[in-house]
Amino acid sequence: MPTSATRPRPPLDPRLYQIAVLSGLLLYGLIWLHFDITPDRAALLLGTALLTQYVCTKLWKLPRFDPKSAMISGLSLCLLCRTNYVLVAVLAAVVTISSKFIVRWNGKHIFNPTNFGLVFLMLLGAPVWVSPGQWGNVAFFGFLMACLGGLVVNRAARSDVTYAFLMSFAALQFGRAAWAMQRWQVPQCSSIAPSTGSGRSL
């Protein structure tokens, strides 16, 4: 029988890679891209997400508190959620985390929690928005995102979903261009063009 010294180590939780990537992107955005979110607002979102996860763990009488999922959702909110009001930011974190416990089917949450929280508040008419233009239009950053995203989905063994989405998106883009009799360069430009306007892109 293999001893403990020769037994292979269990693989790391893929959520740890996701937390590392999201943390790196947040630091990159705060330091180099000057996101319109302050460090204290980011700390508030993360703290509220973790606290909500803890409270829901107790209310649903789960065996243990797992902060990793809440960290992923909290970091995602730091990257996506924009609002001028502190209470709205807190509400976004509460709705995001609590949706994992409330909106479930066969023991699993149905929607991506962060997306659900943002869309839910937008449908309510809350003063919250997402700013895709904050990432700029740098080819190096696009390559970095592709590499980091590939690492995460590979570790999580979910790369099939990612590749299926990319191929479907490309097929729709080029199919629309062919139907409209546009040049093949048009879908490429529309996919990478930075957003313009006030930044409140809904």
> Are the C-beta atoms of 92 and 37 separated by less than 8 Å?
no
Per-residue confidence (pLDDT) for residue 152, from 0 to 100? 59
Per-residue confidence (pLDDT) for residue 132, from 0 to 100? 74
121 CB burial (10 A radius; 0-12, 13-18, 19+): buried
Each residue's pLDDT tens digit, 140-162: 555 566 666 666 555 555 555 55
- DSSP notation for 85-137: -HHHHHHHHHHHHHHHHHSEETTEESS-HHHHHHHHHHHTT-S-EE-GGGG-S
Which residue from 157, 120, 19 is spatially nearest to 79, judged by alpha carbons?
19
Per-residue confidence (pLDDT) for residue 199, from 0 to 100? 42
Paired strand residues for 81: 130
Which residue from 31, 29, 37 is spatially nearest to 135, judged by alpha carbons?
29
Distance of alpha carbon 119 from its chain centroid, rounded?
A: 13
For the chain, what percentages of helix, strand and coil (3-state, to nearest 5) are there? 65, 5, 30
* pTM over the 0.85 mark: no
> Are the C-beta atoms of 151 and 21 separated by less than 8 Å?
yes
Per-residue confidence (pLDDT) for residue 3, from 0 to 100? 55
Per-residue confidence (pLDDT) for residue 151, from 0 to 100? 60
Per-residue confidence (pLDDT) for residue 71, from 0 to 100? 97
Query: Given pLDDT bands bounded at 50, 70 and 90, which one contains residue 188?
Result: low
> Are the C-beta atoms of 59 and 113 separated by less than 8 Å?
no
Q: Worst-scoring range by mean pLDDT, 25-34, 91-100, 149-158? A: 149-158
- Cα separations in angstroms, 47 against 27, 42, 91, 100, 136: 17, 8, 12, 17, 28
Per-residue confidence (pLDDT) for residue 184, from 0 to 100? 65
Per-residue confidence (pLDDT) for residue 201, from 0 to 100? 35
Q: What phi, psi does 28 have (nearest 5°)?
A: -60, -45
Per-residue confidence (pLDDT) for residue 175, from 0 to 100? 80
CA dihedral 38, 134, 139, 119 (to 10 degrees): 110
